[in-house]
Amino acid sequence: MDSLSLSGVCRHHFSLDFNHSNPGFFLGNKLGFTRKQERRGLAIAGVASPLRRPVIVPSLDNETVDRRDRNHHTAWTSVRQERWEGELVVQGEIPLWLKGTYLRNGPGLWHIEDYNFRHLFDGYATLVKLHFEHGRLIAGHRQIESEAYKAARKNKRICFREFSEVPKYENFMAYVGDIAKLFSGASLTDNANTGVVKLGDGRVVCLTETQKGSLVIDPDSLDTLGRFEYSDTLGGLIHSAHPIVTKTEFLTLLPDLVNPGYLVVRMEPGTNERKVIGRVNCRAGPAPGWVHSFPVTEHYVVVPEMPLRYCAQNLLRAEPTPLYKFEWHPESKAFLHVMCKASGKIVASVEVPLFVTFHFINAYEVEDEDGRVTAIIADCCEHNADTTILDRLRLHNLRSFNGNDDILPDARVGRFTIPLDGSPYGKLESALEPNEHGRGMDMCSINPANLGKKYRYAYACGAKRPCHFPNTLTKLDLVKKVAKNWHDEGAVPSEPFFVARPGATEEDDGVVISLISEKNGSGYALLLDGSTFEEIARAKLPYGLPYGLHGCWVPKE
């Protein structure tokens, strides 16, 4: 697919000031993004009314990407510089109703000095923004300034425990000291590289699985404002990386690694205090199952107990195992627990077939003809109970793909049926034929108006085989049980994010936003029509960005 170049977009070009002694980082301050006096007078050729934001185009002669990365696909290559912002040339038309900022978070820097990280999830967080207004598009990116990231820059080495990486110890006593810090949480990373959410009170928070990795950011400047400090006394070190966030509440799960179970907690807008709704005790296993995400309905929270369980021994290891901080315990079986939001009571706890999922899509209640809730349907991106997907995400595996081997493990839309009549078992089946989306499935979004309600459409990353990673965008019709797929040869798309048209009455009336990494070092922002799933606009970036994970929408008020 052809994309427009950026030649001629500006009358002025600027070379950003790099610190060449520290490859991979833009440390200069001669053209800071908050220094308004250096932004005045910028002229933009060939556009209508000026926007408040400047056009800043870096000189790519000074690109700072690790030279060893140049033969890798853009998606798996460290970001070229610490920050950039500029207006993009749009091919097609951006709907005038689309006013706001799409934020996408994810790992984007996978090396410090000469040391290359092992796993996709280890990378230091890169926050990307796409600001839409008056049919125009301002893009930008910036590294999130976590303590882990700042310490690595300063000391030129990893200083905190990441997903698969640990600091390199000078001696045994240093290792013992780090273990002591692990139990207090001091050695755990705050590298908030997984998701970003807009709270009901307007604050925007970047998240990862450690509680200390909750960082407040400015959605306009992308500045890191500080840590989101919880004011309660619930404690704990980890939480679900994907809380349920609406205008009225924030719900999340706190795994208990000592007395295996989960606290279900709620936080109201305008506060930092989490309050306990209830507790779920694990039914089996030496530890709680990994809860990267979980679903809710209008009245219930669904707590998954996956046989891929946290492992204290693996947490203590200096070198990772194939399952990293987890262990597969099929003998412990798999369960789903249903808790009433209002009372905290567990209304169902059922055994289900073994499953592996990172991401739940949605859940809803099934009623009989008298309006009584008889069951809950919960959908997820399910990897056929195959844990090898975790190790497939090693950077070596991602970077060594030759284009011919079909090595992406199969995945599907797994649909759980949880009866509320006291039955001990639930069902797990495919919501549609997996070949509809190439037997690849992850990174889903829905119309947020249908959160916890019966829904028809979801947007996800699927597969066109042969491949080693999801390489299509797909629209799932869960009523007709069909999928429509978008594909750009050689490109890696990130999560398709749905934004509804204001006033829309149809579930799929809106646009789907995705950032695309191309194999030739370039990339672009993409808009698809939510209904037809046809391309309506794209805008080429000055250089490709690494693959990202999850995003949110911050509407312009």
* Residue of 137, 130, 126, 143 lying closest to 102 (CA atoms): 130
Q: Residue 314 burial by CB count (10 A; 0-12/13-18/19+): exposed, middle or buried? A: middle
CA angle in degrees (0–180, nearest 5) for 52-54-56: 165
Share in percent of the chain as helix, strand, coil (round to 5): 10, 35, 50
Dihedral angle computed from the Cα positions of residues 516, 517, 519 and 522, in that order, rounded to the nearest 10 degrees: 100
Between the alpha carbon of residue 398 and those of residues 166, 221, 469, 521, 547, the distances in Å are 21, 32, 8, 16, 11
Structural Rg of the chain based on CA atoms? 23
Give 50-53 contacts, CB < 8 A, sequence gap 24+.
Answer: 51/87, 51/133, 51/134, 51/136, 51/138, 53/85, 53/87, 53/131, 53/138
Q: Is 121 helix (H, G, I), strand (E, B) or coil?
A: helix
- Beta-carbon contacts of 417 under 8 Å, excluding residues fewer than 6 positions away, are 375, 376, 377, 426, 427, 428, 429
Q: Sheet containing 427-430: which strands, arranged edge to edge? A: 357-367, 373-382, 412-419, 427-430
Question: Is 72 assigned to a binding site?
Answer: no
Tokens of 432: 């549609």
How far apart CA 498 and CA 550 sit, in angstroms, is 12
Question: Is 299 assigned to a binding site?
Answer: no
How far apart CA 476 and CA 458 sit, in angstroms, is 5
Q: Which residues on adjacent β-strands are paired with residue 231? A: none
Tokens of 73: 């696909």
**Contact indicator for 412, 434 with CB cutoff of 8 Å:** yes
Question: Is 359 assigned to a binding site?
Answer: yes
Tell me which amino acid residue 404 is: N
Tell me which amino acid residue 237 is: L
Q: Is 349 helix (H, G, I), strand (E, B) or coil?
A: strand
Instruction: List, as residue ranges, the binding site for Fe cation.
Output: 242, 292, 359, 550
Instruction: List, as residue ranges, the binding site.
Output: 242, 292, 359, 550
